């Protein structure tokens, strides 16, 4: 029996025109969908054609990127490494694939790796520094940054890790740390001043010189610290010459807020960038006040000694152990008829008659060298004009810092 069509299948209230309009809209909708299907089909065809090219591109990128790449499974075994990884560590694919990554680590780093690998499973991304062993036994300090891929159940499927050799960088950082420590502990005040005469770097000793903390100096103009007059008269002229490439050194008195008046030895070095341009000045300031005061005391003592030396009524002469005359007073010069300059070209033997040579040599050995001085004794001198005259003298031995006869 033919199937009976329900009455509601047709809307008898619609006109013929309305029905035709709906049919037309349905045809248009079908045409649009057919067109979209055709576009998607063409896009799939195009992607299918370009997919091998993209795969080849990414394969080249994977193999030749200048960073070592590795992928590990959930147990930490190596699934894949790229050519850069093999080149850095000296292995072949056959020697690496399937082995646990811990096999390539320094024993001291294995536990540290395992802790971070376990953490990676929960945080999905991590970074760690490890020491790896190359095939030739050499050690490399590396930085490892990893992410993970998960399966449909959310479990770790595999890791994607980039490994960077940071051995040289760490060595440079350590050298820089040591250099900073040396500069920090040196008693010389070290500062870097830019072309605008503003502090960029100061060490601990410079803080002591200035009586200010580092943060109170950095970025400030040097005139704020030394004063306008000292800056314009003593510092700026030398700074400007240094900025032209000249190394400047001078000694001067400065009034420091914390230390008071100090005599310092100052050296300015041009600070050059890698391209050779001069962008500032490295200033080294050494406090030599104590040395200056000793020098001045010695100068005063020498002046006093010289006055006493020249005021003596007796002749005085300073003779080296080989007999060379290196100093004498005016009385001694008049006694012999020579000038002080002429006596410096003579020896003690030249002004002593020969018959006294053995006698005086015995006094040197028996008295002067053994006890440091002689008894008063008599001998003769020969004047410049050849005449001989008697003298009475005592000799005292001078020793150097090591106790040896000077």
Residue extents of the structural domains in the chain: 24-57, 65-171, 196-292, 312-393
For the beta carbon of residue 317, count every other beta carbon within 10 angstroms.
19
Residues 6+ apart with CB under 8 A from 337: 383, 384, 385
Question: For 297, what's the count of Cα atoms within 13 Å in the CB-facing half-sphere?
Answer: 6
Backbone conformation region of residue 316, classed left if phi is above 0, alpha if psi is from -120 to 50, else beta: beta
pTM for the predicted model, two decimal places: 0.46
196-292 and 312-393 in the same fold: yes
pLDDT along the chain (406 residues), means of 10: 46 64 69 67 63 53 73 89 90 92 93 84 78 92 86 80 88 83 82 93 87 88 84 88 93 82 92 92 91 80 63 83 89 92 92 94 91 92 95 89 78
Dist CA 129 CA 322 (whole Å): 69
Q: Give me the pLDDT at residue 27, please.
A: 67
Backbone conformation region of residue 171, classed left if phi is above 0, alpha if psi is from -120 to 50, else beta: alpha
Q: Phi and psi (nearest 5°) for 337?
A: 80, 15
What percent helix, strand, coil does the chain show, rounded to 5?
A: 45, 30, 25
Superfamily of domain 312-393 in CATH is PAS domain (3.30.450.20)
Which of 296, 315, 293 minimizes the C-alpha distance to 304? Answer: 296
Q: Give me the pLDDT at residue 225, please.
A: 78
**Per CATH, domain 196-292 is 3.30.450.20:** yes
Which of 337, 318, 335 minimizes the C-alpha distance to 327? Answer: 318
- The CATH classification number of 65-171 equals 3.30.450.20
Q: Give me the pLDDT at residue 241, please.
A: 93
């Amino acid at each position: 029996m033919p199937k009976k069509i329900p009455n509601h299948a047709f809307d008898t209230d619609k006109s013929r025109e309305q029905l035709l309009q709906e049919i037309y809209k349905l045809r248009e909708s079908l045409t649009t969908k057919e067109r979209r299907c055709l576009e998607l089909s063409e896009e799939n065809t195009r992607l299918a054609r370009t997919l091998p090219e993209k795969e080849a591109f990414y394969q080249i990128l994977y193999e030749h990127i200048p960073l070592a790449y590795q992928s590990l499974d959930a147990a930490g075994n190596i699934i894949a490494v790229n050519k850069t990884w093999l080149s850095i560590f000296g292995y072949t694919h056959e020697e690496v694939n399937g082995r646990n990554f811990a096999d390539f680590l320094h024993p001291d780093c294995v536990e540290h790796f395992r802790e971070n690998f376990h953490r990676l499973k929960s945080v999905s991304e991590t970074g760690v520094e490890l020491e790896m062993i190359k095939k030739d036994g050499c050690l490399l300090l590396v930085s490892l940054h990893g992410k993970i891929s998960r399966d449909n159940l959310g479990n770790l499927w595999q890791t994607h890790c980039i490994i960077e050799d940071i051995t040289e960088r760490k060595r440079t950082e350590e050298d820089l740390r040591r250099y900073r420590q040396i500069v920090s502990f040196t008693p010389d005040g070290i500062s870097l001043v830019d072309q605008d005469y503003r502090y960029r770097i100061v060490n601990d000793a410079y803080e002591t010189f200035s009586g200010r903390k580092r943060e109170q100096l950095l970025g400030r103009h040097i005139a704020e610290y030394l004063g306008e007059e000292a800056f314009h008269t003593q510092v700026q002229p030398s700074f400007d010459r240094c900025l032209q490439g000249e190394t400047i050194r001078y000694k001067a008195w400065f009034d420091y807020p914390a230390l008071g008046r100090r005599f310092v030895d100052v050296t300015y070095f041009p600070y050059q960038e890698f391209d050779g341009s001069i962008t500032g000045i490295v200033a080294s300031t050494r406090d030599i006040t104590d040395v200056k005061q000793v020098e001045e005391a010695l100068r005063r003592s020498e002046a006093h000694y010289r006055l006493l030396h020249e005021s003596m009524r007796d002749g005085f002469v300073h003779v080296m152990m080989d007999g060379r005359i290196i100093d004498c007073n005016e009385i001694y010069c008049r006694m012999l008829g020579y000038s002080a300059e002429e006596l410096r070209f003579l020896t003690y033997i030249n002004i002593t008659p020969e018959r006294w040579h053995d006698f005086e040599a015995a006094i040197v050995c028996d008295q002067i060298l053994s006890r440091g001085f002689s008894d008063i004794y008599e001998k003769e001198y020969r004047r410049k004009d050849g005449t001989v005259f008697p003298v009475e003298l005592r000799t005292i031995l001078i020793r150097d810092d090591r106790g040896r006869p000077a």
